């Protein structure tokens, strides 16, 4: 059973037990809500599993409904555990390119191994500045300059040979045209230079690979502690250990599909030629 399933069953049990206590106490929802200082609507949502009650809510309910000492302690502790899990599984959304860069920079500074997967576009650390400015085209100019300056600082950490950087890209990420043929060829040359660093591994999943899996979006995994990913309206940070392990497992499966070495160099040259033909 997965952690989300266990959490769902625990929430259902808490709401069911609170509803049972009220029924056995022969109290109406209106009377119980009034006695515990909450609205009838809130109580109804709690009893139907639509709202996770606070620990204080549960304490007031079990005391008002004359639960046994054992039941009181059990349900209060269950509420505490559910709130702790909810906080752990919280996804933090950052808005603004510069703010996200700062958050990621702090995470990267502590990470020994950073893993990156992209299926549409080039990962930030591998972007040339021309490519990066196209990505940030909708961002206010002052934010663009600040974000690029922060990216330069992040990229400088790649000089630390004690850190390892592993990149997995889909072939589609390199064929997705972000600008002119010259810009795309410059970007691919930038990749070629970067992958020669001793602490950088770059692999590309070719279109011909028999993937047999779905990767819905790009993501980054830092050690076994953090996952970051971009969504339409911001950038999310995930810290729940179970979720992080899920992303690590997916990254491992994706990594098995990549081309490296001479095969990869041949593929990059072919993609550059194709961009020039289309240009």
Residue 201 has pLDDT above 90, yes or no: yes
* Spatial CA neighbour of 195 closest among 102, 129, 105, 116: 116
Same domain, 59 and 103: no
- For 53, which DSSP code? -
Q: What is the pLDDT of residue 87?
A: 60
pLDDT at 71 over 70: yes
* Pick from 60, 52, 61: nearest CA to 79: 52
pLDDT at 97 over 80: no
Residues 48 and 123 in one domain: no
Q: pLDDT tens digits for 211-268?
A: 999 898 999 999 988 898 887 666 788 888 888 899 999 999 999 999 999 999 999 9
Of residues 210 and 154, more confidently modeled: 210
Domain containing residue 36: CATH number: 1.10.260.40
pLDDT at 96 over 70: no
CA neighbor of 58 nearest in space, from 87, 26, 15, 29: 15
Q: Are residues 51 and 15 in contact, defined by beta-carbon separation less than 8 angstroms?
A: no
Q: Are residues 138 and 261 in the same domain?
A: yes
Q: pLDDT by residue (tens digit) across 169-196?
A: 999 999 999 999 999 999 999 999 999 9
What token pair was written down for 135? 């990505």
pLDDT band at 101 (very low <50, low <70, confident <90, very high): low
What number is the average pLDDT over the span 85-113?
68
pLDDT the model gives residue 83: 81
What pLDDT, on a 0 to 100 scale, did the predictor assign at position 229?
86
Distances (CA, A) of 48 to 13, 51, 189: 10, 8, 58
21-25, 52-56, 100-104: segment of lowest average pLDDT: 100-104
Output the domain CATH number for residue 98.
3.30.870.10
Cα–Cα distance, 270 to 251 (Å, whole number): 25
Residues 131 and 192 in one domain: yes
Q: Among 88, 103, 130, which residue terminates a domain?
A: 88
Q: What is the mean pLDDT of residues 204-210?
A: 95
Among the candidates 88, 104, 127, a domain finishes at 88
Same-domain pairing of 165 and 81 = no
- The residue-averaged pLDDT of 13-18 equals 94
Asked if the model's pLDDT at residue 50 lies above 70, the reply is: yes
| Domain interval for residue 162 | 92-278
**Residues 6+ positions from 88 with CB-CB distance below 8 Å:** 239, 240, 241
209 has pLDDT over 90: yes
End position of a domain, from candidates 41, 70, 88: 88
What is the model's pLDDT at position 249?
95
164 and 220 part of one domain: yes
Total number of domains constituting the chain: 2
**235 and 100 part of one domain:** yes
Please indicate, yes or no, whether residues 117 and 163 belong to a single structural domain of this protein: yes
């Amino acid at each position: 059973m997965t952690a989300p399933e266990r959490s769902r069953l625990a929430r259902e049990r808490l709401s069911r037990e609170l509803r049972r206590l009220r029924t056995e106490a022969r109290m109406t929802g209106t009377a119980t809500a009034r006695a515990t200082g909450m609205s009838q609507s809130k109580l109804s949502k709690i009893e139907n599993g639509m709202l996770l009650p606070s620990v204080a809510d549960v304490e007031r309910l079990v005391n008002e409904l004359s639960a046994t000492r054992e039941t009181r302690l059990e349900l209060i502790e269950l509420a505490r555990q559910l709130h702790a899990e909810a906080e752990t599984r919280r996804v933090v959304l950052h808005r603004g390119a510069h703010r996200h860069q700062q958050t990621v920079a702090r995470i990267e500074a502590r990470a020994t191994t950073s893993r990156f997967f992209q299926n549409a576009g080039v990962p930030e650390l591998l972007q040339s500045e021309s490519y990066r400015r196209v990505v940030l085209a909708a961002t206010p100019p002052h934010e663009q300059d600040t974000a690029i300056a922060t990216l330069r600082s992040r990229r400088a950490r790649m000089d630390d040979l004690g850190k390892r950087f592993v990149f997995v890209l889909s072939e589609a990420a390199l064929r997705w045209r972000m600008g002119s043929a010259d810009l795309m060829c410059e970007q691919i040359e930038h990749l070629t230079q970067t992958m020669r660093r001793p602490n950088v591994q770059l692999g590309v999943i070719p279109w011909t690979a028999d993937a047999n899996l779905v990767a819905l979006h790009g993501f980054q995994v830092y050690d076994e502690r953090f996952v970051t990913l971009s969504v339409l309206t911001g950038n999310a940070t995930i810290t729940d250990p179970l979720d992080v392990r899920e992303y690590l497992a997916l990254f491992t499966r994706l990594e098995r599909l990549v081309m490296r070495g001479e095969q990869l160099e041949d593929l990059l040259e072919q993609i550059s030629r194709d961009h020039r033909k289309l240009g």
